[in-house]
Amino acid sequence: MCFYFSNSRRALELANRYEFASGLIEPFFEVQEAQYKITAFTHPACPVITANDGDNGNGGIGTAKWGLIPAWKKTVEDAEKSRKTCLNARAETVFELPSFRSSVLSKRCLIPATGYFEFHHRDKKAIPYYIFLKDEEIFSFGGLYEQWRNPATNETERTFAILTVPANRLCAGIHNGGKNPFRMPLIIRRDDESRWIDGSLKKPEIARFLQPFDTNRMDAYPVSGDFLKRSPGDASIIEPAEHHPVLHLHPR
């Protein structure tokens, strides 16, 4: 699954990258520093790109917290349970599960990233790998978002989940253990980004996006085993590790 990713670009760089996205950049986003490690379990606010959804009146670049809360959740307790369990959404069940079936049809988003992390299991060890695109410094995960009104504060909170699909050959060779092996995040091709967030798409058109990304356009290398302990702004997080050999995972 996808629980750790990197976004090492500041707001202006992202705004230039997603020039098709209109709307204002929120103050949080304006001052955002490079984040070499973003962790799902802390439910951080992350940059997201959306279309005009009719709820907040604005699409474009904004923020949402990682961990989707369906709009129909009535209590804070139920919302918090959803936040913890809806970090990812599996492509195979996204049209059926109550937590996702509405948002996949009408509230799809892009989550900017510069890479992400998965663990390779070998000799009873979990070796972290940094996975990225060879030809794009900034790329997009395909995600879902929702707007939930907190009944205790009457404030509206926007949250998101990252879609996952069966892994391609490179990612399957890395992500070979844990509770949900052989998965990878949905990566949207740059030419398809504005189409992915188009609210007019129907289920068959959406389903065609839910495929593994091209192995030949991706690469990976091992990073330090203590990367989770380092500050998110520490650039050494994504430096190649010297004590683990790179696996030969590419197709021949």
Residue 165 domain-assigned (yes or no): yes
**Residue 90, domain member (yes or no):** yes
The enclosing domain of 191 has a CATH number of 3.90.1680.10
pLDDT at 15: 75
Within a domain: residue 56?
yes
pLDDT at 16: 81
In a domain, 249, yes or no: no
For residue 190, being part of any structural domain is answered with yes
**pTM, 2 dp:** 0.92
Per-residue pLDDT of the chain (252 residues; tens, 9 = 90+): 688 889 887 777 887 888 766 554 554 454 456 889 999 999 999 989 998 655 444 568 888 999 999 999 999 999 999 999 999 999 999 999 999 999 999 999 999 999 999 999 988 899 999 999 999 999 999 999 999 999 999 999 999 999 999 999 999 999 999 889 999 999 999 999 999 999 999 999 999 999 999 999 999 999 999 999 999 999 999 999 976 555 655 443
Burial of 110 (0-12, 13-18, 19+ CB in 10 A): buried
Residue 24 lies in a domain: yes
Domain that holds residue 68: 4-235
Is residue 130 situated within a structural domain? yes
Predicted local distance difference test score (pLDDT) of residue 23: 55
User: What is the total count of domains within the chain?
Assistant: 1
pLDDT at 252 (0 to 100): 36
Domain-embedded: residue 242: no
